[in-house]
Copies of this chain bind each other. A is one copy, B any other.
Amino acid sequence: MDKFCFGVDIGGTSVKMGLFDERGSLYEKWSIATNLNEYGKSILADIAESIRDKQEKFNIRQENILGIGIGVPGPIQGDGIVYKCVNLGWDVVDVTKILEDISGLRVTVGNDASVAALGEAFMGSAKGYESVVMVTLGTGVGGGLIYKGEIINGAMGAGGEIGHINMSMSETQQCGCGNRGCLEQYASATGVVRRANQLLNDKSLSSEFPSSLRGKGNLTAEEIFNAAKEGDVIAQRTVEETGEMLGRAMAQIACIFNPRIFVIGGGMAQAGTILLDTIKKYFIKSAFHATKETEFVFASLGNDAGIYGGAKLIIG
């Protein structure tokens, strides 16, 4: 009889889930709504119930399920305890223990960005690579370090928190984390919009460069990348700066952890080669000579990276 496992990716809106066999083939994927009522207290019970339903549908006996691997949007320490998960309303939650008790299955927990990185290293763009760093460019900048098929969580669960690498000592605005000058302030979707607005409001530039973005109201990162592709100078300057910050940060990662490959994912990866080429240009410029051959790819699993990573947490 085949063995199975479940990969779960908890987000602030929905929980994505997948049923996998022990070789990592996806049998079925589905999602349920994330119930944020009462500090998200029913989230884990909802997951257990949904898994039980699927188990019945496919008539899988409990002893043939290897476990549940789960990604959570918060810092996870070695013991599988989540310390404050703002998006879900959680304070300190022992995810492993609670979900094991409800489901009767083995549970392994990881940070969502790290679990997505594990998914890409398991079945995505970085399949077969021993050392991988994934950079997720979304509302924030997340990341994950994979080494020999395992996540490096870090001693305080901050392994791969690359959005908070300090990139500028002269930044005056504050990052969500409380510091000033974090990579996330320049290279997230929010950061790109922030910088574009700063450049648009810069009086010393306004006379010099007309811009299609001026007076548009609420800009999005997508609009900025599209304008850059069409030659808008302010948008191009924003993209250049974003790519420079990412390229420099990745050069630093390269002479610390020295991965073989960088995987770039998240919504902003949709910008495509205009972003990737800029990142690579600045990476090559500041990378330590031994690391200049580091590879760069876009993520390939999209929203499924998390459930694949969850499965890998169990398959090992």
Question: Which residues of A does B touch, CB under 8 Å?
Answer: 75, 78, 130-131, 145, 147, 152-162, 164-166, 169, 177-179, 181, 248, 251-261, 286, 288-291, 293-294
State whether A258 and B288 are in contact (beta carbons under 8 Å apart), knowing that A155-B294, A156-B293, A248-B166 are contacts in the complex: no
Q: Can you offer 17 A-B residue contacts whose CB atoms are under 8 A?
A: A75-B290, A78-B130, A154-B259, A156-B258, A158-B258, A158-B290, A158-B291, A159-B258, A161-B290, A162-B256, A165-B256, A166-B252, A166-B286, A169-B248, A178-B289, A181-B286, A256-B257
- Oligomer copy total: 2
Interface contact A179-B260, CB-CB below 8 Å: no
A286: B residues at CB distance < 8 A:
166, 179, 181
Interface contact B158-A288, CB-CB below 8 Å: yes
A181: B residues at CB distance < 8 A:
286
State whether A256 and B256 are in contact (beta carbons under 8 Å apart), knowing that A147-B147, A288-B161 are contacts in the complex: yes
State whether A155 and B260 are in contact (beta carbons under 8 Å apart), knowing that A164-B288, A178-B289 are contacts in the complex: yes
State whether A162 and B255 are in contact (beta carbons under 8 Å apart), knowing that A147-B147, A294-B155 are contacts in the complex: yes
Q: Which 3 A-B pairs have the closest CB atoms?
A: A154-B258, A155-B260, A164-B288
> A289 vs B176: C-alpha distance in the bound complex, in angstroms?
11
> A65 vs B286: C-alpha distance in the bound complex, in angstroms?
45
A50 CB to nearest chain B CB (Å): 31
A245 CB to nearest chain B CB (Å): 11
A162: B residues at CB distance < 8 A:
255-256
A169 CB to nearest chain B CB (Å): 8
> A178 vs B289: C-alpha distance in the bound complex, in angstroms?
8
State whether A257 and B257 are in contact (beta carbons under 8 Å apart), knowing that A158-B288, A179-B286, A289-B178 are contacts in the complex: yes
> A145 vs B159: C-alpha distance in the bound complex, in angstroms?
13
> A181 vs B155: C-alpha distance in the bound complex, in angstroms?
29
> A143 vs B162: C-alpha distance in the bound complex, in angstroms?
20
State whether A290 and B147 are in contact (beta carbons under 8 Å apart), knowing that A256-B256, A257-B257 are contacts in the complex: no
A147: B residues at CB distance < 8 A:
147, 152
A179: B residues at CB distance < 8 A:
286, 288-289
Q: Nearest B residue to A133 by beta-carbon distance?
A: B256
Within 8 Å by CB of A155, from B178, B259, B288, lies B259
> A162 vs B286: C-alpha distance in the bound complex, in angstroms?
13
A156: B residues at CB distance < 8 A:
258, 260, 290-291, 293-294
